[in-house]
């Protein structure tokens, strides 16, 4: 904790302006701290400084007006660790810094001065995400990833995730929010990692350890709205938000209206801040369809550009975009926004219908059939401009020419688990054998796979929506959640509405925590994921991930054959996935079943291996027919021995 200058010695402004890294926030320099804030709504701003939360011995210093609505001052004798807050005009109510690096007492408390240069990084040899190919994403929520719910506790499991075959950790939002728990999407302090998981240096230490284990770390960021409680931005400028666009979660952020230059700088500074001060390897941009901008450069394109300029290493930027607009992943020179990939809800929705048989609500336009999985394997999005009956409109734009790495496939994520109402994990909705077969499809397709925390070992714990707010907001959140889930007929009945978990109940949060000990106890599920990811990584054919490298045939309503073409002619792989009953192909007029010249197929891998709790798989091909085992996935490769053809 820094030492406040004695009461009889005034705090001095620095004679010369210090060199700032970012245009906003409190930055430490030799001998003091520089403060700068955008507040075009105000005529005058003072910064109050103290060592204790009570601010009993606080000192106040006037900030000087700067250009374009900014106020600034460089003050000597102020140190990292001190608390500060802003006093706006004659308003007696203090406000935290909009660009606060830490809120040790939560969003309504004072900000704390942080010196990021004090942390001793050891990741100098880390090279970032070198390519979009070969990545395996792991989504995690720090508060529920371990019983402790801290950065330090999560860091103890990084070696396990690296050993599993994960390459990128995708951290759910950490910008501070009120209450004792939450998902993070209602954050109000975009620069301050929440005090619930530890200090900013704890976050840095987590990233440093992840890099040491060979894991990249990207952060889920929310630039479409801020939370309903603890949002002080309007006190500085009403231009942070706009009524020009409808937003699902409150007022939209103003990226193209009056005074939007300060808002854009705020968000783009946030992008650079996370990448530079926390050595992050990229971002996941939440709900991009709710980010509205008619500027010459869309803010999403500016975010991607800024992210790539902010880090000396290659970064990875993924977006969530429900309308499935391919422009987000097109390169800037083609008029795109330059993201690396987009989440593919289509794959998840088909998978859910396949295992539950329920095509309800936003699953209405899916059948869970083999033809959908074949299309996803070849083309990524299923909807690229066709009519979508659930929305009574066309959905998507053509993305046939985009490489497989532009799509992130998953069968679990935070939203979809919670949206089931029960929070049940995917493996509990179907048979173990069908789940293993579908997992093989997910992890071997050329698109980038994503796992949700605990998926790799079949976590028995559910994952709910949880948010800790004061009484009135909590009531509104609970009602809003119930209304949203009522789109599902099963959850719309009075009986099920009464059973929905209360987002504000601490037990809803506690029940969502995964048990790391199950990683060993559920060895069969862990073996399945580890072996598949090793096959994906080490087999040269599955590792190609190139456009046109896979084709397929439909063998039955629930069975498909995918052929992965190797870089060397004849070095192909077959992935047979049957989610239904046994299928007998006699005859078998499916050209992709034919082995390479002078070879026969042999089984390389099966989902029914005893290591995974299965009962084994006989070879699917006989001299007279093919038998596709029910609820199973098999990988075939050409035999190493040439076939001897008599009489040739």
Q: pLDDT (tens digit, 9 = 90+) per residue, 319-344?
A: 999 999 999 999 999 999 999 999 99
The model's pTM: 0.95
Q: What is the pLDDT of residue 170?
A: 98
Q: How far apart are CA 390 and CA 323, in angstroms?
A: 12
> Final residue of a domain: which of 118, 133, 168?
118
Residue 568 inside a domain? The answer is yes
pLDDT band at 622; cut points 50, 70, 90: confident
**In 58-192, which ranges are continuous DSSP H helix?**
142-145, 151-155, 158-164
Q: How far apart are CA 82 and CA 30, in angstroms?
A: 15
- Contact at 8 Å (CB) between 107 and 230? yes
Structure tokens at 570: 């004849």
Catalytic residue among 97, 139, 286, 608: 286
- For the stretch 396-413, pLDDT in tens is 999 999 999 999 999 999
- For the stretch 26-72, pLDDT in tens is 999 999 999 999 999 999 999 999 999 989 889 999 999 998 999 99
Catalytic residue among 320, 572, 621, 631: 320
Q: What is the pLDDT of residue 109?
A: 97
- Contact at 8 Å (CB) between 224 and 252? yes
Residue 103 inside a domain? The answer is yes
- List the end-to-end C-alpha distance of the chain, in Å, as a whole number: 86
pLDDT band at 644; cut points 50, 70, 90: low
Asked whether the predicted pLDDT for residue 11 surpasses 50, the reply is: no
Which residue has 């070969």 as its token pair?
134
Residue 602 inside a domain? The answer is yes
| Structural domains counted in the chain | 2
- Contact at 8 Å (CB) between 170 and 455? no
Beta bridge partners of 441: none
> Final residue of a domain: which of 95, 118, 141?
118
Residue 609 inside a domain? The answer is yes
Asked whether the predicted pLDDT for residue 284 surpasses 80, the reply is: yes
The answer to whether residue 320 is catalytic is yes
How far are the Cα atoms of 330, 494, 598 from residue 475, in angstroms, in the given order? 42, 18, 69
Structure tokens at 259: 């005074």
Residue 308 inside a domain? The answer is no
- Tell me which residue of 36, 40, 52, 55 sits closest to 94, measured CA to CA: 55
316-319 and 282-285 beta bridge pairing: parallel
**Which residues fall within 8 angstroms of residue 46, CB to CB, at 6 or more apart?**
60, 61, 62, 63, 86, 87
CATH of the domain at 561: 2.60.40.1180
Asked whether the predicted pLDDT for residue 592 surpasses 70, the reply is: yes
Which residue segment(s) compose the domain that 602 sits in?
544-638
How many CB atoms are closer than 10 A to CB 559?
24
> Final residue of a domain: which of 66, 98, 118?
118
Residue 361 exposed, middle or buried by CB count within 10 Å (0-12, 13-18, 19+): middle
Q: What is the mean pLDDT of the chain?
A: 94
Phi, psi (degrees; rounded to nearest 5) at 351: -65, -40
Q: How far apart are CA 74 and CA 15, in angstroms?
A: 8
pLDDT band at 6; cut points 50, 70, 90: very low
Asked whether the predicted pLDDT for residue 16 surpasses 70, the reply is: no
Q: How far apart are CA 518 and CA 60, in angstroms?
A: 53
How many CB atoms are closer than 10 A to CB 587?
8
CATH of the domain at 101: 2.60.40.10
Q: How far apart are CA 223 and CA 127, in angstroms?
A: 27
The answer to whether residue 415 is catalytic is no
């Amino acid at each position: 904790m820094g030492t406040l200058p004695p009461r009889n010695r005034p705090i001095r402004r620095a004679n010369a302006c210090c060199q700032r890294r970012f245009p906003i926030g409190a930055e430490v320099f030799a001998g003091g701290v520089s403060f700068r804030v955008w507040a075009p709504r105000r005529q005058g701003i003072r910064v109050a400084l103290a060592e204790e939360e009570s601010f009993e011995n606080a000192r106040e210093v006037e900030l000087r007006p700067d250009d374009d609505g900014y106020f600034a001052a460089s003050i000597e004798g102020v140190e990292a660790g001190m608390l500060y807050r802003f006093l706006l005009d004659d308003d007696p109510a203090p406000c935290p810094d909009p660009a606060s690096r830490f809120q040790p007492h939560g969003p309504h408390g004072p900000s704390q001065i942080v010196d990021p240069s004090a942390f001793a990084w050891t990741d100098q040899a880390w090279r970032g995400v070198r390519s979009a190919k070969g990545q395996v994403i792991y989504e995690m929520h720090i508060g529920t990833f371990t019983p402790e719910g801290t950065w330090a506790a999560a860091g103890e499991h990084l070696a396990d995730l690296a050993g599993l075959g994960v390459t990128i950790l995708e951290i759910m939002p950490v910008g501070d929010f009120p209450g004792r728990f939450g998902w993070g999407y209602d954050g109000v302090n975009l620069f301050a990692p929440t005090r619930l998981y530890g200090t900013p240096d704890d976050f840095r230490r987590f990233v440093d350890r992840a890099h040491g284990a060979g894991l990249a770390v990207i952060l889920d960021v929310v630039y479409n709205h801020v939370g309903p409680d603890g949002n002080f931005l309007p006190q500085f400028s009403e231009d942070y938000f706009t009524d020009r666009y409808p937003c699902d979660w409150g007022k939209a952020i103003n990226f193209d209206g009056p005074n939007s230059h300060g808002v854009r700088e705020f968000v783009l500074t946030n992008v650079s801040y996370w990448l530079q001060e926390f050595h992050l390897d990229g971002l996941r941009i939440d709900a991009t369809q709710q980010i509205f901008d008619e500027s010459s450069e869309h803010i999403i394109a500016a975010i991607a550009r800024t992210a790539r300029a902010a880090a000396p290493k290659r970064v990875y930027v993924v977006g969530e975009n429900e309308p499935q607009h391919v422009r987000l992943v097109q390169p800037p020179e083609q008029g795109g926004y330059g993201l690396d990939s987009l989440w593919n809800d289509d794959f998840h929705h088909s998978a859910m219908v396949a295992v539950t048989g329920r095509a309800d609500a936003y699953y209405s336009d899916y059948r869970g059939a083999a033809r959908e999985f074949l299309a996803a394997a070849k083309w990524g999005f299923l909807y690229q401009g066709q009519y979508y009956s659930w929305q009574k409109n066309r959905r998507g734009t053509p993305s046939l020419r985009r490489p497989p790495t532009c799509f992130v496939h998953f069968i679990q994520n935070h939203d979809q688990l919670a949206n089931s109402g029960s929070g049940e994990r995917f493996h509990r909705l179907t048979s173990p054998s069908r789940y293993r077969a579908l997992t093989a499809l997910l992890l071997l397709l050329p698109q980038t796979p994503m796992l949700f925390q605990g998926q790799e070992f079949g976590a028995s714990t559910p994952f709910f929506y949880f948010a800790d707010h004061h009484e009135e907001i909590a009531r509104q959140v609970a009602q809003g959640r119930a209304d949203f889930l009522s789109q599902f007929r099963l959850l719309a009945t009075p009986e099920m509405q009464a059973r929905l978990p209360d987002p504000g109940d601490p037990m809803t949060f506690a029940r969502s925590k995964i048990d790391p000990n199950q990683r060993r106890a559920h060895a069969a599920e862990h073996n399945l994921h580890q072996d598949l990811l090793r096959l994906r990584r080490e087999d040269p054919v599955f590792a190609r991930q190139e456009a046109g490298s896979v084709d397929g045939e439909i063998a039955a309503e629930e069975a498909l054959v995918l052929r992965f073409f190797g870089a060397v002619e004849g070095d192909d792989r077959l992935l047979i996935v049957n989610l239904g009953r046994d299928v007998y192909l006699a005859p078998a007029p499916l050209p992709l079943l034919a082995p390479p010249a002078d070879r026969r197929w042999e089984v390389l891998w099966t989902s029914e291996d005893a290591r995974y709790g299965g009962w084994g798989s006989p070879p699917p091909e006989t001299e007279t027919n093919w038998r596709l085992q029910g609820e199973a996935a098999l990988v075939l490769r050409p035999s190493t021995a040439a076939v001897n053809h008599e009489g040739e």
